């Protein structure tokens, strides 16, 4: 394992452990030695996916997830100004948020960071976002895609409010929608008229690129 790989592995371990000071220190060091910020961001995402899996396996509790998320966010704050957009045929603007009733933003944070590292202009609305706020923000930011995180089953029907709002305002064909989270699936897209479902952060990047390509055809 090279020194660069060791450094990235240490970053991964610091985030999984929820060690904020260590994560910040390692990120600063990665930039100092000339490692691309995109590589470090990818490692942050991998770490949070690991944390999410540990939580699903009941090896981690909410306090562990919160600590890891803090380490990831603090490290990303340092990396973000240094991110370089990947060469891609399609880039665009994305509005992202956790739907009304969803107050846990871990998955959304991972997806937002990954989209940014892939070269998209991302507006993060945070958690517990009212359906109309997604559309208002997309209009204000001139975004082509709305990305919605849904982890609580009871909140899934609020997706219909987003679609209805887009239709009422004549924006349904111009602004695409993508969903992700434990409470939704491909079937949810068919039921509510959503354009795409993403199973994880990297899949979301792929789906957003596909949606933007369709718009340009």
DSSP per-residue codes, 68-86:
HHHHHHHHHHHHGGG--PP
Domain boundary among the residues 82, 102, 130 is at 82
- The vertex-19 CA angle with 26 and 123, nearest 5°, equals 80
Number of H helices and number of E strands within the chain?
9, 5
Q: Which residues of the chain have pLDDT under 50?
A: 88-90
pLDDT in tens, 144-184: 999 999 999 999 999 999 999 999 999 999 999 999 999 99
Q: Are residues 129 and 35 in the same domain?
A: no
Among residues 82, 111, 146, the one where a domain terminates is: 82
User: Residue 212 sits in which domain range?
Assistant: 93-216
Q: Both 201 and 141 in a single domain?
A: yes
Tell me what pLDDT residue 105 has: 84
**Strand intervals (E) in 129-197:** 145-149, 176-180, 196-197
pLDDT of residue 25: 97
Do 78 and 97 fall within a single domain? no
């Amino acid at each position: 394992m090279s020194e660069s790989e060791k450094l990235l592995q240490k970053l991964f371990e610091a985030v999984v452990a929820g060690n904020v000071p260590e994560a910040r220190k390692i990120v600063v060091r990665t930039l100092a030695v000339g490692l691309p910020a995109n590589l470090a961001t990818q490692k942050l995402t991998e770490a949070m996916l690991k944390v999410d899996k540990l939580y699903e396996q009941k090896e981690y509790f909410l306090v562990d997830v919160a600590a890891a998320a803090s380490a990831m966010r603090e490290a990303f704050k340092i990396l973000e100004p240094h991110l370089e957009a990947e060469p891609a045929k399609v880039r665009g603007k994305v509005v992202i948020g956790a739907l009304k009733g969803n107050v846990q933003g871990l998955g959304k944070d991972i997806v937002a960071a990954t989209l940014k590292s892939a070269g998209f202009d991302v507006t993060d609305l945070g958690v517990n976002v009212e359906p109309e706020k997604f559309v208002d923000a997309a209009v204000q930011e001139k975004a082509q895609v709305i990305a919605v995180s849904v982890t609580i089953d009871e909140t899934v029907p609020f997706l219909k409010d987003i679609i209805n709002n887009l239709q009422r305002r004549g924006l349904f064909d111009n602004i695409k929608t993508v969903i992700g989270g434990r409470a939704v699936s491909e079937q949810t897209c068919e039921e509510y008229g959503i354009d795409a479902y993403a199973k994880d952060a990297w899949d979301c990047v792929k789906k957003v690129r596909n949606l933007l390509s369709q718009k340009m055809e």
